[in-house]
Amino acid sequence: MQTLVVDHPLVAHKLTALRDARTDSPTFRRLADELVTLLAYEATRDVRVTDVTVDTPLAPAQGIRLARPVPLVVPILRAGLGMLDGMTRLLPTAEVGFLGMIRDESTLKAQTYATRLPEDLSGRQCYVLDPMLATGGTLAAAIEFLFGRGARDVTAICLLAAPEGIAYLDEAFRSGERPIRVVTAALDERLNENGYIVPGLGDAGDRLYGVV
Ligand SMILES: O=P(O)(O)OC[C@H]1O[C@H](OP(=O)(O)OP(=O)(O)O)[C@H](O)[C@@H]1O
Ligand SMILES: O=c1cc[nH]c(=O)[nH]1
Ligand SMILES: [Mg+2]
């Protein structure tokens, strides 16, 4: 599994403000949105394209277009929803699916409460959005859904990742015939005893949606 930690001063600047406990929800939402657009630029370097020719006002020009089938973008509710606009700003023609998942805080296991995905994903590049890669349980379950429907490859875009979550995904998809990749703004130190990323940013869903 490839893990890309995007190293850019604008990413680091916005992430620092996002982490700050003093940052209010409206600002948190804006920063998350801006960060995702920066991460998505790196995460879509290998988006599939096809050759086309267009006519400029002066002459024909060789060009490229996104290949079909278009990529599928899947925000994992709740916190992933705060990343959707930042992603579709770069991929406005992508199809959007949804997964409603919640981590049982006593077992740290992910439960799925809503799935709105195309039945057949054969050949599709998929981008899964979830700000936090903590134990890896949520993303692993989400990625399994997509490969179960025939996805070609899956890229997870996260704001923060813990070493434990990276290791878990790496092990879960070790075989390699189901290619996955993680693109994140930072690799943090560890998980605490409650499965939260340290230093992290707290509970991403609560901070995005003003839950105090
Ligand atoms: O890597 P994991 O250990 O699975 O933890 C990461 C998940 O935990 C949080 O979701 P939560 O279950 O709190 O739901 P929410 O997104 O609605 O806040 C976060 O949004 C991730 O989805
Ligand atoms: O640090 C964490 C870990 C899981 N979920 C969150 O929202 N934050
Ligand atoms: Mg979540």
43-101 pLDDT, tens digit each: 999 999 999 999 999 999 999 999 999 999 999 999 999 999 999 999 999 999 999 99
* Ligand 2 centroid, distance to 39 Cα (angstroms): 19
What is the reported pTM? 0.96
Per-residue pLDDT band for 176 (boundaries 50, 70, 90) equals confident
* Mean confidence (pLDDT) of the chain: 97
Structure tokens belonging to residue 24: 């209010």
Instruction: Note whether ipTM > 0.90 here.
Output: yes
| CA 4 to chain CA mean position, Å | 12
Q: Where are the domains positioned within the chain?
A: 2-49+63-209
DSSP 87: H
Q: Which residues contact 41 (CB under 8 A, 6 or more apart)?
A: 90
Taking the C-alpha atoms of residue 101 and residue 89, their distance in angstroms, rounded to an integer, is 24
Residue 55 annotated in active site: no
Taking the C-alpha atoms of residue 136 and residue 37, their distance in angstroms, rounded to an integer, is 23
* Ligand that lies nearest to the alpha carbon of residue 205, given by its number in the listed order: 1
What is residue 172's three-state secondary structure? helix
177-211 pLDDT, tens digit each: 899 999 999 999 999 999 999 999 999 999 999 98
In angstroms and rounded to an integer, the radius of gyration of the C-alpha atoms of the chain is 17
Indicate the fold that domain 2-49+63-209 takes in CATH: Rossmann fold (3.40.50)
- What would the mean pLDDT of 129-158 be, rounded to a whole number? 97
Which residues lie near ion ligand 3 (Cβ < 5 Å)?
Answer: 79
